[in-house]
Amino acid sequence: MLVQAAPNAAPPPPPLVAERVSLTSVDGKGGKATALYGVWIKARKSLPTDKNGKFPTVIALHGCGGLYSMIRDGKGEFTPRHLAMARALTDAGYNVLFPDSFTPRGRRSTCQDSPAQREASVMNRRYDVQAALHWVTSQPDVDMSRVALLGWSHGASTVLAAMNLADTDVAVRKVQPRAAVAFYPNCQPYAKPGTPFKPAAPLLILMGENDDWTPPQACEAMEKKMEGSDTEIALRLYPDTYHDFDAPGLPVHVRMDINGIGKPGSGVTSGSNPDARAMAYRSMLNFLEAKLN
């Protein structure tokens, strides 16, 4: 299948060639199996560190808005954000797997759902991560010693949960990522002094100072709580920047249909900041190169 840009996006370069793959997510507590699928895009160039045709690989987790801007005739068109990330990573020499946690469960978006309504909750999506890690182990062109997680918002919160060795199902996992990148996660569950959080690998968090959907203060508190730990947590905050700042071409606007964590009932602000996006991509690629190559 071909991953195309949304119709109103700027004319894209040649389409990325992608493959739809099957994943099986198994609930670690009840053993319930859920058939999922993902989009697999191979690295577009080799790195000096690549050996025997094996490449570093990133598992990228979509936010509450899902993976696609549109689905027609059963084929999904990536949002501009996911398309831009796929190009950035594959051009830099990384394979990328985008697990789709929503469409196979009959959902397009869960942004307006209450936490109680979300079947694909952050904690449940940890098992989708496990399914993705299991799938990439079977790929001959994946170097399993160089795998990272990446996510946005709800997917970034999933990254935090999927990396927390304080949870038994994470701690006993045979395959552990070497690094993780989280774009504007909800850090509140881990910011409290009594809540254990021990990431399995170095973690980079990228978010806007003005984010009122997932306010950065909780991530600052988590970073402070983790000072002196043996695992690196780096937080990068960008001024005059809101949620979804890396989504290309998204005007800054207020969404009254979302209950933000910071200002319940006041809506949330979302929109692009091209300068912050460029800095975040640079930080992300530098971080991945340092941890995986």
CA dihedral 223, 190, 239, 242 (to 10 degrees): 160
Distance from CA of residue 33 to its chain's centroid?
Answer: 22
* Per-residue pLDDT, 36: 93
Q: Around Cβ 291, how many Cβ atoms within 10 Å? A: 20
* Per-residue pLDDT, 162: 96
- Give me the CATH number covering residue 40: 3.40.50.1820
- 248's torsion region: left (phi>0), alpha (psi -120 to 50) or beta? beta
Show the domain range for 41: 2-292
- Higher-pLDDT residue of 5, 231: 231
Residue 289 is encoded by which pair of tokens? 């190169």
* Per-residue pLDDT, 9: 56
Position 277, amino acid: R
* Per-residue pLDDT, 119: 66
| Mean of pLDDT over the chain | 88
**Which residues, 6 or more positions from 293, have their beta carbon under 8 angstroms from its beta carbon?**
47, 49, 56, 146
Does the pLDDT value for residue 50 go beyond 80? no
* Per-residue pLDDT, 192: 85
* Per-residue pLDDT, 274: 97
pLDDT digits (tens, 9 = 90+) for 18-42: 999 999 998 876 778 989 999 999 9
pLDDT digits (tens, 9 = 90+) for 204-251: 999 999 999 999 999 999 999 988 888 999 999 999 999 999 999 999
How far apart (Å, rounded) are the C-alpha atoms in residues 282 and 262? Answer: 28
**Which residues, 6 or more positions from 252, have their beta carbon under 8 angstroms from its beta carbon?**
242, 269, 270, 271, 272
* Per-residue pLDDT, 284: 98
How far apart (Å, rounded) are the C-alpha atoms in residues 70 and 284? Answer: 27
**What are φ and ψ of residue 99, in 5° steps?**
-70, 140
How far apart (Å, rounded) are the C-alpha atoms in residues 26 and 48? Answer: 37
pLDDT digits (tens, 9 = 90+) for 89-100: 999 999 999 999
Q: How many domains does the chain have?
A: 1
Which span out of 55-59, 64-68, 258-262 was modeled with the highest average pLDDT?
55-59
How far apart (Å, rounded) are the C-alpha atoms in residues 236 and 157? Answer: 16
Task: List the single range of 24-33, 47-56, 144-153, 183-192 with lowest mean pLDDT.
Answer: 47-56
Does the pLDDT value for residue 174 go beyond 80? yes
Position 35, amino acid: A
How far apart (Å, rounded) are the C-alpha atoms in residues 182 and 267? Answer: 23
292 contacts 56 by C-beta, under 8 angstroms: yes
Q: Strand, coil or helix: what is 81?
A: helix
pLDDT digits (tens, 9 = 90+) for 102-155: 988 888 888 877 655 566 788 889 999 999 999 999 999 999 999 999 999 999
* Per-residue pLDDT, 263: 60
